[in-house]
A = this chain, B = another copy of it.
Amino acid sequence: MYLPPFEVYILGTSSAIPAFDRYPSSQFIHINGSYILIDCGEGTQMQLKKYKLPSNRIDLILISHLHGDHIFGLPGLLTSLSLLQRQKPLKIIAPQSLKIILDTIFTESEAKISYPIEYIFTQPTHPELIFENDKFKISTVPLIHRLPTTGFVIEEQPADRKIIKEKVQEYAIPIHQFNRLKKGLDAEDEQGNIIKNEWVTQDPPPTRKYVYFSDTALLSSIPEVAFNADVLYHETTFLKEHQDLAKITMHSTSIDAAQTAIKIKAKKLLVGHYSSRYENLDLLLNEAKTIFENTELAKEGKKIVV
């Protein structure tokens, strides 16, 4: 069965201080011909180039919060796109103050951006459907961190219903009725007889869902919209033995991440945002796996199929 692409490319996995060749947070998403960037730590434009990902095809940038390791790559990426003469608008979904930061930088460095930037501001108090088109929808989820922070849920729109090949002849379905059937409506044959949708179509594949939770302390309540994620990316800044640091800095341990994966019935857990104190990431992986077996380490350059 053909599934349109829904892929996550990892550009950065480091928490605040980059170490061991790990870059700060950024992910590039390809969903059925659309390209989304989530967070944009320093060096993101170089990482996109390194992994041959098309930065100019990004139409949507999602920013979880305004800590530097999630935004310090934005001024460089946005001005490079401008130097490359981008014309089409770019949407940025982010906390409101991001606009103050970028406007100040562009003004003081006299950067004239060649394309319109359209902001959609997030709020950290309740979940919200914040963007939708015919292919996917994006919701925000409040996270628990030192600054206003949201997670993101990216979910495919349902595909068309599938017309069963053999039924086309059996019911003599006219071609011009196909679209009605694909959309779930009943149809008619040339004689005006009703063709019930359920007789001739089958369900499309279930919609796929990617959930991005970084940065956050352990979430006590999680909204329904994040449930049943095919892949949950959850920050794992610390090991359980450093849970005191996790508490102070409002980050998560590997155990927290795994518990969240269980709670929302995720199929797969992807962990990242590693503290610079850990060179060996298997410690974090193995700790998460004690609770949630299907866990994978995010690594720069890795592609995850949702």
A166: CB under 8 A from chain B? no
1/0 contact string of A51-93 vs chain B (CB within 8 Å): 0000000000000001111011101100110011000000000
Q: Let me know if A104 and B100 touch, CB within 8 A.
A: yes
**CB of A105 closer than 8 Å to a CB of B:** yes
Chain B CB within 8 A of A194 CB: no
Smallest Cβ distance from A145 to chain B, in angstroms? 11
**B residues within 8 A CB of A146?**
110
Contacts A16-B83, A49-B19: A42 and B76 contacting too (C-beta < 8 A)? yes
**Contact A76 B68, beta carbon cutoff 8 Å:** yes
CB distance from A250 to the nearest CB of B (A): 12
How many subunits of this chain does the assembly comprise? 2
State the CA gap A25–B21 with chains docked (Å): 20
Q: Which residues of B contact A105 (CB under 8 A)?
A: 68, 101, 104-105
Report the separation of the CA atoms of residues A80 and B50 in the bound assembly, to the nearest whole angstrom: 24
Name the contact of A109 in the complex, choosing from B24, B66, B108, B110 (C-beta under 8 A): B66
> Scoring A residues 1 to 45 as 1 if CB is less than 8 Å from chain B, else 0, what string do you get?
000000000000000111101011000000000000000001101
In the complex, A182 Cα to B76 Cα: how many Å? 51
Give the size category of A's interface with B: 35 or more
Q: How far is the CB of A1 from chain B (nearest CB, A)?
A: 40
Shortest C-beta distance, A120 to chain B (Å), equals 18
Q: Closest Cβ of chain B: how far from A231's Cβ, in Å?
A: 27
Q: With an 8 A cutoff between CB atoms, is A111 at the interface?
A: yes
* In contact, A100 and B108 (Cβ under 8 angstroms): yes
Residues in chain B near residue A202, CB distance under 8 A? none
CB distance from A80 to the nearest CB of B (A): 5
Is B42 a contact partner of A23 (Cβ separation < 8 A)? no
User: Whole-angstrom distance from the CB of A214 to the nearest CB of chain B?
Assistant: 16
Contact assessment for B104 and A109 in the assembled complex, using a CB-CB cutoff below 8 Å: no
Chain A 108-124 interface mask (CB, 8 Å, partner B; 1/0): 11110000000000000
List chain A positions with a Cβ less than 8 A from chain B: 16-19, 21, 23-24, 42-43, 45-46, 49-50, 66-69, 71-73, 75-76, 79-80, 83-84, 97-98, 100-101, 104-105, 108-111, 146-147
Residue pairs across A and B with Cβ atoms less than 8 A apart, 27 shown, are A16-B79, A16-B83, A17-B80, A18-B45, A18-B80, A19-B49, A42-B45, A42-B72, A42-B76, A43-B43, A66-B108, A66-B110, A67-B109, A68-B75, A68-B109, A69-B76, A71-B109, A72-B75, A72-B76, A97-B108, A100-B104, A100-B108, A101-B105, A101-B109, A104-B104, A110-B146, A110-B147
